[in-house]
Structure 1
Amino acid sequence: MFRITKEFHFSASHRLDHLPEDHQCNRLHGHNYIVVVELAGESLNADGFVRDYHDLTALKTYIDDQFDHRHLNDVLGHGYTTAENLARHFYEWCKARFPETSAVKVSETPKTWAEYRP
């Protein structure tokens, strides 16, 4: 199996407003997110790629236009804007465009990661 990854960055605010009021994540706060998309294939295409990295520019554009310097509760329309849900959201977006998508990881801080891999 061949696997490739590409990393993307954005900054955004959110609130986990379903948590108790005294929980720190219930308060408005922000993160410098890192998104890593993984694509996999048992074979390579005619150019020797799982997929050309250039094709993933569409994900960069989507992140830049819809997520960067935005309030995630407004973007996603709910208060469950956890790293886990972001990983699933980006996975589903990528899978619809890049069938080789096998996982997406999202980091909110340098020490925390969430991964969605069906």
Structure 2
Amino acid sequence: MSNIFEITKQFTFEAAHYFPNMPEGHIYKKIHGHSFVGEVTFYGKQKKDNQWVNDFGEINLSLEKIKKKLDHQCINNIKEIGLPTLENIAMWIGKQLKKEYSNVRSVKLSRPSCGESCVYKIT
């Protein structure tokens, strides 16, 4: 019998966005900011040599690269994201991580002050 684990790393960033496709006068059409909380989950068996699924230090380095692109930025300027919805931002983060980690399972992105979150499941 093999043991499968899920491990999760949390990270935060501050960013602004707006929705240019909204009707004139709509509150989301104006630039505004949020405090984001992300959680990235990986799955797998413990590696024989170090007994962990992934090295949290390496995950943290990967997340720092991603955060550099997002933190205190206007997300609309990251063209690969498209409209800066929670869904699109979470998917973009997941795709960045998938380039380095084959066992990334999901990205949860939330805006706690708004009581909003979404989970991008990576297949």
TM > 0.5 between the two?
yes
Work out whether residues 18 and 79 of structure 1, in 8 Å CA contact, stay in contact via their aligned partners in 2.
no
Work out whether residues 81 and 89 of structure 2, in 8 Å CA contact, stay in contact via their aligned partners in 1.
no
Structure 1 residue 113: Cα displacement: 0.6
Shifted more, 88-97 versus 53-62: the winner is 53-62
Partner of 2:92: 89
Partner of 1:62: 65
The secondary structure found in structure 1 opposite 2:64 is helix
How many aligned residue pairs are there?
117
Q: Deviations over 1:51-99 (max 9, x none)?
A: 0101112233213321111110012366510010011001111111011
The CA RMSD measured in Å over matched residues stands at: 1.6
- Unpaired segments ≥5 residues, structure 1: none
CA separation in 2, counterparts of 1:22 and 1:35? 30
CA separation in 1, counterparts of 2:109 and 2:64? 17
Query: TM-score, normalization: structure 2?
Result: 0.86
Name the larger-Rg structure: 2
Partner of 2:47: 45
Structure 1 residue 21: Cα displacement: 2.4
- Unpaired segments ≥5 residues, structure 2: none
CA separation in 2, counterparts of 1:38 and 1:89? 15
Identical aligned residues as a percent: 27
Structure 1 residue 26: Cα displacement: 1.5
